[in-house]
Amino acid sequence: MNNTHSQYFLLYASCIPVKGISRSSIYDIQRNCLRLIPNLIYDVIKDAENRTAGELKKKYNNEYDKEIDIFFEELIEDELGFFTDTPKLFPKLSLAWESSSQISNAIIEIKEKSELNYNSIFSQLDDLGCTSIELRFTGSPTIDFIEHILTACNRSRIVSISMILPYADQFQIDNISYLSSKNLRVNKIIIHSAKENKKISNNYMVAKIYYTTNQLRNSSCGQICKENLIINSDLFRESQKYNSCLNKKVTITENGDIKNCPSFKKKFSNIKVKKLKEAITDAKFQELWHIRKDDINICKSCEFRYSCMDCRAYTQDPKNRYSKPLKCSYDPKTMSW
């Protein structure tokens, strides 16, 4: 290790340290995983950015030379970092996040025999550049009706569709697999209030199909737990400046109300009287898009803050717009869930 004395130790640009109140994380947004580290180590990594290994050790009065060597060796072994003579040639990853969509994702509540014109809704979403939609069906839709809805999404910019259906006799595996095989944009189908829990996925199908005995309502949303954390470049970068759940999202309820999300009471006009484009360009509608995890009480000191989907509908103090999500049990201070 002696030859590293005059070299710089860098984390790979996609491995980004994030400090929490009691511990820190290294977000690996190339391989999509997360490594927890003590805050002291976070400081060492930061100090190493503009110091050679020799200078770094000196900063710590040469009391931890061996520990620092071992620590760097470990990070190299795990492919999180490397030594270089030319740190200037390795710029940091830009965390800018830009989207070619005015609306990127939409939740649409759908019922059969509705007076809403779904074709028009999908075509408006397409004009806004929407790429992913969640269809929340109510009642007991026929397979034909679901197919009709999915057909309306053909030849659009939508690349991912997830569907939530209340269980009914027509939703046997054969019918559901048929729908999925005919509509390759569909990547998730959840059938709730089912008789049993099961998960169906195979190599021949794009979609994952879940049957769950739980009943899903709008109020079921907003759960934040270890298993729901998402580590990827897109979310990490988007959440630096925008709300990780609501940014560029729109909801159209069963009655045509336009909302930020189905769980909010607040509505911004109705699709029957207003063009979607007009409703979503209203500054009031976009207000919540700009609440970052860095602005939210407690969350701002959490080491998981850029892997969390947040929730603004159910919060601990509904009067405070910067209140922590109600359904998150994690305490970053004690590091316990």
- Interface positions with other proteins (CB under 8 A): 12-14, 30-31, 79, 82, 88-96, 98, 100-102, 129, 157, 233, 237
The smaller minimum CB distance to other proteins, of residues 98 and 227, is found at: 98
Report, in Å, the least distance between residue 91 CB and other proteins.
5
Least distance to other proteins from the beta carbon of 115, Å?
31
Residue 108, strand partner residues = 135, 252
- How far is 199 from 91, CA to CA, in rounded Å? 43
Nearest to 289 by CA among 319, 316, 250: 250
Q: Bin 189: left if φ > 0, else alpha if -120 < ψ < 50, else beta.
A: beta
The CB-of-47 to other proteins minimum distance in angstroms stands at 20
Kindly state the smallest distance separating residue 14's Cβ from other proteins, in Å: 7
Neighbours of 43 (CB within 10 A): 14
Nearer to other proteins, 30 or 132 (CB): 30
The nearest distance, CB 18 to other proteins, in angstroms, is: 17
Interatomic CA distance for residues 332 and 337, integer angstroms: 9
> Which residue, 88 or 265, has its beta carbon nearer to other proteins?
88
**Which of 237, 293 has the CB closer to other proteins?**
237
Q: Cβ of residue 13: shortest distance to other proteins, in angstroms?
A: 4
Nearer to other proteins, 101 or 170 (CB): 101
Alpha helices in the chain (DSSP H): 39-48, 53-59, 65-77, 118-127, 143-151, 173-182, 233-241, 276-281, 283-286
Closest CB to other proteins among 13 and 36? 13
Any long-range contacts for 168-173 (C-beta under 8 Å, 24+ apart)? 168/140, 168/141, 170/140, 170/142, 170/143, 173/200, 173/209
Indicate the residue among 94 and 336 with the shorter CB distance to other proteins.
94
- The β-bridge relationship of strands 249-252 and 186-192 is unpaired
CB of 210 to other proteins, least distance (A): 25
Tokens 């959840």 belong to which residue? Answer: 190
